[in-house]
Structure 1
Amino acid sequence: MPFSLSKTALATQCALFCLTLPSFTSLAAEQTGADALSMERMIITGSRSVERIDEVPSSVTLIDNEALKQDMLVSSELQNILAFRVPGMAPSSGTSSNFGQTLRGRQALVMIDGVPQSTPLRNGQLGIRSIDAGAIERIEVIKGATSIYGNGASGGIINYITKKATDDDKARVQLGASSKFSAVKFEDTPGYRFDASIDGTNDNFSYVLSGAIEETGLQRDAEGDIIGLIYGLSEAKTQNLFTKFGYDFDEEKYLQLTYNYYESQQLADLTDVTGNVNSGIKTYAIENTTGVARIGEPQGPRGNHNLMLKYVDDELFTNTQLTLDGYAQVIENMFFFSTSLANPSEGYSGGQSLIKSDKKGLRVNFNTQVDWDRVEVSFIYGLDALNDVSSQPLDDGRIWVPEMDMTNLAAYLQTKMVIDGDWIVKAGVRQDNVDLKVDDYQTLKLCKNEATCSVPMDVKGGDIEYDTTTFNLGVRYNMNEHLSPFISFSQGADIPDLGRLLRTATVEDISLVQTESSVVDNYEVGLSGQYEDINYEFSAYRSESELGTTTKYDEATGIYLPVRAPHKIWGYEAQLSYQVQDNLRTGITYTWMEGKNTETDSYLDGSIISAPKFTASIDWNPIDAAYIGLSYLYVGDRERFEAVDGKYAGTQAPVSSYKLVNLSSSYQINNWQLSLGVENLLNENYYSARSQAFTYNGYNTKGLGTTVNLGIKASF
């Protein structure tokens, strides 16, 4: 039997992806007719090939295009969208950083069309904001350790699948404009957003062109004060340019070129009034009235480039598809000016670092399908090659993290058997060979004050080699529509955040730094099903690693040093949706997790483990042209650590509960859509979970107060 997934069929199926959580599937999508309702739910990310969700023996969350559009009526911030939509994902901090926003207590690998955006060698945890939400068709989130895409996916994968061209010969044009402003204190808060896109197909040629520019005004909390500047979003300017061109050579072969440019920089001339959790005083910003320009360069991505070239042959030979992916990426992420990078003896009152990463990669993927009587078997196998050169210099010329040059070669095999259409058995193996080079370097002398400084070390560089084999095995039984249980075991190999280890080295040779990689073992059991108009899913998981990375405070130098210790994390997720009427749908989710350092039998801190999270949603179409949605987020308490002499340290402060309500609404008039979104509708006066758990100066900013987003869109 020839391989049947032609490009046209694949594109049609991918265009109609729906969520794992039926509660979050948009009513607009549900009302497009019986054909849309009958489309099978499909994913690509988990196995690098199109497959149905009910054939995946693990937890998957899909956010489709209609859900994205609804969320963007409130905010275009991807951290906020993921925090609400994805069970197991930690709450958002409401800033430009996803520091502390883990997936099941571990780091997720963020990708655009399969190209890594995270920088695992020096994880600045800024990868979630790497593309404008308007350029995304859907988001696929695979939870639990996986090595299918290599290093950096110990918690799972977040893959942004970009927009595709319409199949119509007639070009599709979309234009949008919106403005956000504070309803608490209007002064200087209005911002703007403009976006435009055109796509279409002309004979064998397809194209997508889109651009967005967004500039925020001052971001104010529930008390009307300007939110602090560390990873702040006040007066930030974001620009995104996305292009995709495709050419069909015939029914089986096509070529695709994609380019995405993204930048987002905070341009505010403000100054912080700095507090911290232990002082009980919030951090907020005020206008800079000194007459002297604010120190430092604008923080944020200042020009991130992604170039991707894909070639697909659906019938390379009998029943076998070939996919070739080549990609190149350049990233520069600028951090805020910090006095922690001071060295008074050399004239530095502080410093500003940036993460630089240059990646080049090639992926060769084969997919062979075989039918044996009542058994359908697929073999997915191939090779990955990646060169990643990352560093973290300071803007003043000092070197904080030296250049790390990594070459990663990997081979993998993933198999899936569908037996009698009900039993699904998946198993896979991946072999990674990593060679990493670091030249000789000297650690920085950093001073808490003139009398308290770290001691610089001359460190001999060298080669670090990693050779890791990881496995996965999973089984799902689709007993009937009411019950579909699954169980899985998966491993992921994680090179540590090597940059943090190198920049705080206290030895004279890199071979003496504890740079070992960590294999994460992930166990998961779950079940899902449907009873008439009710859909449900439940999963429980446990992950273990011999070496995790946390930090401890060094009183002698005022520096937080990394600690490698074994970690155990466990938790569960539950979700349920109910189709009340044809035009009314509700859904709820609950997430709970916990973790320990098994060497000391102590709880893991707030940078790893998030507080319990509950979400609820109501989606209503009172008439065909109108949509109204309410979403509710509740973050619970987590108090695992005791204060020492009345003070908490590091990221071990307690988290107290808070709740948020958002409103999204739209009205369609022919080709025009009018929209109103309100973030924090009830003006909850709160600190985010990260702001509460992190004791570092300047991190305890309050969340955004009631903010209104008015918009208009036109489609032609």
Structure 2
Amino acid sequence: MKLSPVAIALSPLMALTAAPAFAEVKDTTSPDTIAIERMIVTGSRVPERLDEVPSSVTLIDSKTLATEMSISSELQNMLATRVPGMSPATGTSSNAGQTLRGRKALILIDGVPQSTPLRNGSLDIRSIDMNAIERVEVIKGATSIYGNGAAGGIINYITKKPGADGAIGGVLGVSSRFSAVKFEDSVGSRVEGALNGSVGQLGYLISASRDDYGLQRDAEGDVPGLVYGLSETTTDNLFTKFHFNFDDEKSLQLTYNYFSSAQDARMVDVTGSVNSGQKTYAIEAGPDTLILGEPQGVDGNHNLMVKYEDLALFDNTRLAIDAYGQKIENVFFYSLTLANPEQGLDGGQSIIRSEKRGVRANFNSDFTLGDTELDLLYGIDYLQDVSSQPLVDGRMWVPEMDMQNLAFYLQAKWLFAEDWVLKAGVRRDQMAIEVDDYQTLRLCRTATQCSTPVAVKGGELEFDANTYNIGLRYKGSTVFSPFISFSQGADISDLGLLLRTATVDDLAKIQSQAALIDNYEAGFDGHWEAFSYSAAVFLSKSELGTRTVLNPASGIYEPVRAPQEIKGIELAASYDVNDELTLGANYSWMEGKDTDQDIYLDGQAITPPKFAAYLDWATTDNSSVSLTWLHVGDRKRFEPVNGQYSGSQGPVESYSLLNLAGNYRVDQLLFTLGVENLLNEDYYSARSQAFTFPGYNTKGLGTTVNMGLKWSF
């Protein structure tokens, strides 16, 4: 029997385990905690106070993570509820259609990119287990601070830190998740463990988890369809971090993260559609049924990062150098639309392969000029990204794209007149992408509806971009702190999609230019006594966005490059009724258009208005209860053609979900209970309603219970 890295790691951890797992019962109102949670590290790649950032930021702390994890360990669900501007969750392993302010977000783990923007497969949100994360930082709006792929912003998973005080502590957790609608075959199991401590100047953290899902069930007790499904899925995560202090200023850190998630269900889909009004659901395969394809999911995501820091390179300058590598292989579901009858192929299954290697040198210098404080951030980034999308049967759908990206950047921050912060910066990107000669695939939706293969001459694509940002914030009052900002991002918009649908014979003729995105934003935040609030309006413009349109002759959805404009508003507020009870809510609305054709953008980018509310109640010193309510509104912007909706233009009707989380602590034991969809709402997710593609119209989960126990020392 082959053991995964997680299984090997969990074996000793079952006997001796440790980690800061009781963050969920930590008093997050202490001054030290507030100071920590008012810091952000991703906006400018150095620690920075939130009240000095002139843009919208959502920070999800360890307490919130623990609450959400007792309901579900799926990060996309937590982000959808807690982040204004984030689209509703899809209810599957894929975050396709789950955008940030209507555009793709760049997913990072401690600053290391997890997304595959050259061929975006939308599986990047699920790249680490929630148990390894200390907090999540979401920076909204186009930005180029980390390079390609951050058209909608950045979602950075900040991982837990190794121990530093010589003590050894630990946690071991087990839980089980099952359907309350139909219990049969729905029981899943989860085991997690971690070890955290230090020896001399060396701190260490080892964390591992394994999730085995049973059959998922909707509100009617049926198993949702298998396209990106989570039924019978096994997810493994191994996370390690070692930190060595040479002295008070110099340190070296090594981080490794392994993540895999594979669905291996002996079931087949009964496929419905948005247009027929019939849901897609899965049934048990018969004994003679041939299960087509390999298990779908992440077949190993490996991340390695080495970071060296010198906090006193000079009297006023800090240095951080990190080198990282990532290797990922995403296996997608078997699709009949990848058929080629001439070759005897009834369908196919694709794989996105991506390897990244990068080096970053980051300098941070502080100066005092009279009554003005000046902070300079500057450095060099280098990234090589090699991505492709072959099929399991050997056909090549997207040829190998070898990108070399060299960038120089400078960011300045002025604190002047005591109460004002002005930030401005520039980044220069030089990108070159090599593509060999290739031929597009002949794909047949039906026996008579096939695409025409095209032989494309390869070559090198070069992109040079200067991107700028400037922002101003007033920080003289905690009650009202307004800001205004402008930021840009350079984005190579899913080049692989453009290559695989090429209709011209030369790479140079493909409309593959990088999109330059302009993000304008204004807002304010503040707190008065027990009341905290924030508000923002934004406008995101690009002269070369991407949408897809169905070619009726071939049955292939082909990309269209055209100007786009997206606008929206975001609101959030919370109120501490007393020391035990907190109420909160957030609201977001967005809309977008292709300004050249004056038509609305579809559900690939734009989702309906979203309202979320929560209640956190510390019922006793040892117990707490949380309720979260999510309401997704209507969006009906498109009319059917000949009685049929196409693409991602299906109408979305509103739905509401109520979740419950509770915990009770007895000494070193923590009992948790979570209930997802407490009222058993019978619904389709926003994506399931908008996407008309076969197999996507699956219903969301019915009432699902998650019971767990954690022991720590």
TM above 0.5, one fold?
Answer: yes
Picking from 361, 366, 376, the partner of 2:363 is 366
Picking from 234, 244, 247, the partner of 2:244 is 247
Picking from 278, 282, 299, the partner of 1:281 is 278
Picking from 189, 193, 196, the partner of 2:190 is 193
Q: Deviation at 1:34?
A: 4.3
- Separation (CA, whole Å) in 1 of partners of 2:467 and 2:33: 38
* Cross-structure match for 2:330: 333
Picking from 423, 437, 441, the partner of 1:440 is 437
Secondary structure of 1:82's aligned partner: helix
Corresponding letter in the other structure for 1:70: T
* Cross-structure match for 2:474: 477
* Cross-structure match for 1:261: 258
* Cross-structure match for 2:3: none
After superposition, where does 1:147-186 map in structure 2 within 5 Å? 147-186=144-183
Closer/same/farther in 2, CA of residues 178 and 84 from structure 1, 3 Å limit: same
Secondary structure of 2:33's aligned partner: helix
* Cross-structure match for 1:457: 454
- Separation (CA, whole Å) in 1 of partners of 2:692 and 2:329: 27
Corresponding letter in the other structure for 1:228: G
Q: Deviation at 1:93?
A: 0.5
- Separation (CA, whole Å) in 2 of partners of 1:41 and 1:424: 16
Secondary structure of 2:445's aligned partner: strand
* Cross-structure match for 2:346: 349
Picking from 606, 610, 617, the partner of 2:607 is 610
Residues 636-667 of structure 1: per-residue CA shift (max 9 Å, x gap): 00011111111111000110000000000000
- Separation (CA, whole Å) in 2 of partners of 1:164 and 1:503: 42
Picking from 567, 572, 579, the partner of 1:570 is 567
The answer as to 2:635 corresponding to 1:638 is: yes
- Separation (CA, whole Å) in 1 of partners of 2:597 and 2:417: 48
The answer as to 2:98 corresponding to 1:101 is: yes
- Separation (CA, whole Å) in 2 of partners of 1:96 and 1:607: 16
Secondary structure of 1:121's aligned partner: helix
Q: What TM-score comes out, normalization by structure 1 length? A: 0.96
Picking from 37, 51, 56, the partner of 1:54 is 51
- Separation (CA, whole Å) in 1 of partners of 2:142 and 2:353: 26
- Separation (CA, whole Å) in 1 of partners of 2:226 and 2:690: 18
The answer as to 2:392 corresponding to 1:395 is: yes
* Cross-structure match for 2:523: 526
- Separation (CA, whole Å) in 2 of partners of 1:542 and 1:663: 35
Q: Deviation at 1:290?
A: 4.2
Count of residues paired in the alignment: 693
Moved more, 187-196 or 525-534: 525-534
* Cross-structure match for 1:7: none
* Cross-structure match for 2:534: 537
Closer/same/farther in 2, CA of residues 259 and 34 from structure 1, 3 Å limit: closer
Corresponding letter in the other structure for 2:168: A
Residues 205-263 of structure 1: per-residue CA shift (max 9 Å, x gap): 01000100010000000000001100000000000111111111111000001111100
- Separation (CA, whole Å) in 2 of partners of 1:231 and 1:452: 26
Q: Deviation at 1:167?
A: 2.5
Moved more, 102-111 or 27-36: 27-36
Preserved CA contact (<8 Å) 2:24 2:67:
no
* Cross-structure match for 2:319: 322
- Separation (CA, whole Å) in 2 of partners of 1:225 and 1:676: 24
Picking from 120, 123, 133, the partner of 1:123 is 120
Residues 338-357 of structure 1: per-residue CA shift (max 9 Å, x gap): 00000011110000001000
Q: Deviation at 1:35?
A: 4.1
* Cross-structure match for 1:600: 597
The answer as to 2:637 corresponding to 1:649 is: no
- Separation (CA, whole Å) in 2 of partners of 1:194 and 1:37: 31
Moved more, 382-391 or 420-429: 420-429
Preserved CA contact (<8 Å) 2:383 2:405:
yes
- Separation (CA, whole Å) in 2 of partners of 1:29 and 1:432: 43
After superposition, where does 1:215-234 map in structure 2 within 5 Å? 215-234=212-231
Preserved CA contact (<8 Å) 1:40 1:52:
no
The answer as to 2:556 corresponding to 1:559 is: yes
The answer as to 2:620 corresponding to 1:620 is: no
- Separation (CA, whole Å) in 2 of partners of 1:37 and 1:331: 36
Corresponding letter in the other structure for 1:475: L
Q: Deviation at 1:95?
A: 0.3
What runs of 5+ residues in structure 1 fail to find an aligned partner? 1-14, 17-25
Residues 304-363 of structure 1: per-residue CA shift (max 9 Å, x gap): 100000000111112100100100110000000000000011110000001000100000
Q: What TM-score comes out, normalization by structure 2 length? A: 0.96
Preserved CA contact (<8 Å) 1:117 1:127:
yes
Residues 563-593 of structure 1: per-residue CA shift (max 9 Å, x gap): 1110000000011111111100000111000
Moved more, 500-509 or 477-486: 477-486
Moved more, 62-71 or 616-625: 62-71
Preserved CA contact (<8 Å) 1:27 1:620:
no
Preserved CA contact (<8 Å) 1:27 1:583:
no
- Separation (CA, whole Å) in 1 of partners of 2:662 and 2:231: 25
Moved more, 336-345 or 200-209: 200-209
Closer/same/farther in 2, CA of residues 229 and 209 from structure 1, 3 Å limit: same
Preserved CA contact (<8 Å) 1:219 1:704:
yes
Secondary structure of 1:448's aligned partner: coil
Secondary structure of 1:501's aligned partner: helix
Preserved CA contact (<8 Å) 2:24 2:66:
no
Closer/same/farther in 2, CA of residues 170 and 32 from structure 1, 3 Å limit: farther
Secondary structure of 1:648's aligned partner: coil
Residues 278-309 of structure 1: per-residue CA shift (max 9 Å, x gap): 01000000000142341100000011100000
Secondary structure of 1:46's aligned partner: coil
Aligned-pair Cα RMSD in Å:
1.3
* Cross-structure match for 2:6: none
- Separation (CA, whole Å) in 2 of partners of 1:303 and 1:31: 35
* Cross-structure match for 2:89: 92
- Separation (CA, whole Å) in 1 of partners of 2:302 and 2:165: 30
Q: Deviation at 1:412?
A: 0.2
